Structure 1
Amino acid sequence: MTYTKNKIRKEFIKIRNEIPFTRRAIAEKKAFKKIYSLNFSKILSFAPKTKEINIWNLNKKLAFENKLYLPKTVANELQIYEITDLDTQLIKGKFNILEPDPSKCKKADSIDISCVLVPAIVFDKNNNRLGYGRGFYDRFLKDLTCPILGIGFLEQLSKNMLPIEKHDIKLNHLLLF
């Protein structure tokens, strides 16, 4: 199964990386409008990696309104922090992704979160996702009761069902632009 997953990851990273700039820009504006219009009070978002859908402007707006939370990887788990200033409260983390600096922001309880935005390499029509294979999100999401929204580009939707395992957490909705 791992071989198949790795093959799928490789294929969809290539697809995602080839999305033209103008197509990305249009999708990212649509993502901002749609997600912001959902009006959740406390959103656990993510700092996008290169070529993931860039929701940085949404994160800025949410931080300004005290509605933004971001994850930090600690050992094999995600911890969440309240973010009010993206310019001063983030540092490069373990996987070269911007993460909360624990000395500059407040750790939060996952029970306070009203929605989680989850990136992936690929999604399927049954709301399954395939990430980078480390399982951080699956371990974190298993106990949450709030909506879990997969966020990405339309090109990241597989026509085929993804190979899933018992520990994989299904998303509530996909928001693909």
Structure 2
Amino acid sequence: MKKAALRKEFLQKRKEADERWLVEKNALITQNLEKYVQDEHFKTLHTFLPQLGSREIDTFFIIESFRITFPTMRIAAPYIIPGTREMEHFLVTPFTHLVVNQWKIPEPDPVSSEKVRPEEIDIVLVPLLAFDRKGYRVGYGGGYYDRFLPQTRPDCIKMGLSLFEEVDEIQDVDEYDIPLDLCITPTRTYDFKN
């Protein structure tokens, strides 16, 4: 299937998902992510923040859980520079003031938050709607992460989080699409590096 069709299909699946199902799947994704992270030595994790009302994966739940389990880990989130397709990155602490942008996505306030450079990031949690067996993903179509990921170090882990399992193939992958290293779902961790 092509990206546009997959985007439509998976947005619909998410919309139709039962609230209890979503809470359960979020908890399983968080558990699987914690299992993966505990064997690594990540200093800085970058995560997207969920769009309000979109039924996206609840990364606030992940952040709260990681603050307890990995208290020394720094957590960063993106801020979209208005009028561009570029992002800056700021630490998210219990004291970070979040502002909601025009797409209803909470972001760290760039005026009062501590900036993080892309090369400081060890692992990026990448938003997606669907992913395939080769690690390619269908995002929301803005290209923000396709611009951001090349700014990170070559050893930075690019990890998708998905409520649903993989599709066979995304047919219209292009040279700007960056494959994921891993993707975590409620049932398993897919590793595309091997």
Q: TM-score, normalized by length of structure 1?
A: 0.88
Tell me if the contact between 1:42 and 1:69 (Cα under 8 Å) persists in the aligned partners: yes
Asked if the contact 1:115–1:149 (Cα under 8 Å) also holds between the matched residues in 2, the reply is: yes
Which of 131, 138, 144 is the equivalent residue of 1:136? 144
Over the aligned positions, Cα root-mean-square deviation in angstroms equals 2.0
- Deviation per CA, 1:36-64: give whole Å up to 9, x if none: 33133211011112211112121134457
> Which residue number in structure 2 is paired with residue 28 of structure 1?
26
Distance 1:7 1:161, change over 3 A: closer
TM-score, with normalisation over the residues of structure 2? Answer: 0.81
Q: Percent identity?
A: 27
Contact kept in structure 1, 2:130 and 2:164, CA below 8 Å: no
2:137 partner letter: R
Q: CA–CA distance in 1 between the matches of 2:149 and 2:88? A: 11
Give the equivalent residue in structure 2 for 1:12: 10
Q: Aligned to 2:4, what secondary structure does the other structure show?
A: helix
**Do structure 1's residue 67 and structure 2's residue 74 form an aligned pair?**
yes
Give the Å deviation of 1:15. 1.4
| Structure 2 counterparts to residues 7-156 of structure 1, below 5 A | 7-37=5-35, 38-39=37-38, 40-49=42-51, 50-62=54-66, 65=71, 67-74=74-81, 75-85=84-94, 88-144=96-152, 145=154, 146-155=156-165
| Contact 1:124–1:162 (CA under 8 A) maintained in structure 2 | no
Name structure 1 gaps, 5 residues minimum.
none
5+ long unaligned stretches in structure 2: 187-194
**Residues 162 and 72 of structure 1: is their aligned pair in 2 closer, same or farther, counting only changes over 3 Å?**
farther
